[in-house]
Chains A and B, each alone.
Chain A
């Protein structure tokens, strides 16, 4: 039977993907077309980060980054940094320029790590027509080994900078508890220089892969800055207009839907996108020149309205982050790091606990993490304990946009593709957003033989 004879009619379709694989966490895709009308089109998230926010209430502000770093196994550094920024905003703490530089370096290493994971481990199998990377080990072994080598480099970066490769421990409010070792920084610099050739090879590979053709202009939100390709700091940019991070609640509205545990975010009543493609569209001019060259080689131009090409934008950002990291490392290795202004205690002095009264306040922190803009907001009382917390994760912000993409895509495919092909296109669309559905447990069911 040929595929064409399997094409479904344009009147009825039922897609129920339960669970979507090769994403982080659990989500379902449900699409129902009845008599030519799209009756249902949902991306259902069945895990919720709200419990983490509840856990923060009543805790000291100095604990927040350690707790929130455990929300996610992929964006642990991003959560740590958003948390620290929110805490510093609430406390009125201003980190030194050196601390900010080290934070940017940490954020770049996480971006390198997550992007290469998504490109090779989660997306490439779709483009090569296999279920996972397992069969690719046999058919594309050198490529998989290269991907693992690239990941090892960025894993090592987090280990050197943050004290361990996951769940950072040395990055705290006001600075770091210890300086990264010179030996570690030198090794990281060497690994990054060596990674350039793997990056070039990756560009050549991605160039050969065919992404689905689909266009839907939307609103693109990201941090933006006059000084750099904004990831650690800046104002919020959407539709060419800037807003202050602390005004994020005025910018987008979150609402609850009955079919999902994740909230849906909207700006001006419409869905919007965050992540690599949004950053690329808003801040293309600020990219490193090598990253711009990669974009040109991949045929990626801003503005790009094809969400499937978020993966290509991730590769552009990978090159940008690598080059920016190398620049920072070379500056540090040349000038050195001074303990003064960087190294701080992770907790107020025991003698001061209970004696100092803090100004009750609300602080907001936002950083760009691999999947988009991540917000942490904490309200503290006069003992610096958290009385309210709000975390807005990028995946939640993208869900409304993903559903709108699906609503446009499904009618375009009806009558042209088989049920299996449409299902795969929808899965690939969801995966292109690199959804990071907040951590579930990872328990193994074991039986003994």
Chain B
């Protein structure tokens, strides 16, 4: 039986760079759709991610991050390679508090292998366009994510 794989875009496309995960997902679908992979736009969904993670062997989450990296830099990592902080750590259902989702995933013994493709953002103010650097790097970022999918997930 073949591995079940999902690529999931996260973020609020009405908050500029916060929507980068969803935008890259769309770009992957338009330019590099790969058979056998489910491409899912999860937008600003939160808790429901847990159900979806359970449905797959491997999941790549694409999302904007704040990791003090150069703007537009992509870092793809497994959960064990990073530590996460949020301003408020108690569970919030509305913001996609990935830290809590990851914690719950672990406590619920969900065995899905989870990778995060995190892109350093610059501007998460209200608006529908990406900031300059991210817009310029969109094609390059899409290619980098697809390369990872091709080399590591398939």
Contacts and interface: CB of A to CB of B under 8 A. Distances in A.
Interface of A: 19, 21-26, 51-52, 54-55, 67, 70-74, 76, 117, 121-122, 131-134, 137-138, 144, 148, 151-152, 155, 164-167, 436-437, 439-449
Contacts of A152: 51
B43 A443 contact: no
Contacts of B85: 444-445, 447
Nearest to A437: B94
Contacts of B127: 55
Interface string B32-71: 0000000011111111101100000000000111111000
A343 B108 CA distance: 41
B146 interface: no
A449 B67 CA distance: 12
A23 B126 contact: no
Contacts of A70: 12-14, 43-44
Contacts of A76: 43
Interface residues of B, number: 55
Given A148-B50, A152-B51, A436-B94, A449 B42 contact: no
B95 A117 contact: no
A132 B43 contact: no
A23 B64 contact: no
B94 A74 contact: yes
Given A55-B128, A148-B51, A441 B91 contact: no
Given A441-B95, A442-B11, 4 more contacts: A444-B98, A444-B99, A445-B67, A447-B67
B82 A442 contact: no
Nearest to A448: B82
Interface in B92-113: 92-100, 103-104, 107-108
A133 B92 CA distance: 11
29 contacts: A21-B88, A24-B94, A24-B95, A25-B94, A54-B126, A71-B14, A72-B44, A73-B94, A74-B46, A117-B47, A122-B91, A131-B90, A132-B100, A148-B51, A164-B41, A166-B48, A167-B43, A440-B94, A441-B12, A442-B10, A442-B18, A442-B95, A444-B85, A444-B99, A444-B118, A445-B65, A446-B82, A448-B67, A448-B82
A72 B15 CA distance: 12
Nearest to B14: A70
The winner among B48, B83, B107 for most chain A CB atoms within 10 A is B48
Given A55-B14, A167-B43, A445 B90 contact: no
Given A166-B44, A441-B12, A446 B66 contact: yes
Nearest to A449: B83
Interface of B: 10-15, 18, 40-48, 50-51, 63-68, 75, 77, 81-88, 90-100, 103-104, 107-108, 118, 121, 124, 126-128
Contacts of B90: 21-22, 131-132
Contacts of B10: 442
A441 to B, nearest CB: 4
A443 B107 contact: no
Contacts of A131: 90
- Interchain residue pairs A-B with the least CB separation, the first 3: A24-B94, A21-B90, A73-B44
B20 to A, nearest CB: 10
B47 A443 contact: no
A262 to B, nearest CB: 15
Contacts of B121: 443
A449 B14 contact: no
A165 B50 contact: no
Contact of B41 (A167, A440, A444): A167
A151 B18 contact: no
Given A55-B128, A439-B12, A73 B96 contact: yes
A164 B12 CA distance: 16
A446 B42 contact: no
A155 B48 CA distance: 7
A73 B45 contact: yes
A132 B11 CA distance: 24
A129 B85 CA distance: 24
B103 A440 contact: no
A441 B51 contact: no
B47 A151 contact: yes
A59 to B, nearest CB: 10
Contacts of B84: 444-446
A308 to B, nearest CB: 19
Contacts of A74: 46, 93-94
A117 B127 CA distance: 29
B51 to A, nearest CB: 5
Contacts of A122: 91, 93
B48 to A, nearest CB: 5
A448 B43 CA distance: 25
Nearest to A48: B126
B94 A155 contact: no
A427 to B, nearest CB: 10
Nearest to A121: B93
A131 B87 CA distance: 16
A167 B92 CA distance: 19
A446 B118 contact: yes
Contact of A134 (B77, B81, B103): B103
The winner among A52, A70, A134, A144 for most chain B CB atoms within 10 A is A70
A138 B107 contact: yes
Nearest to A165: B48
A227 to B, nearest CB: 32
B44 A444 contact: no
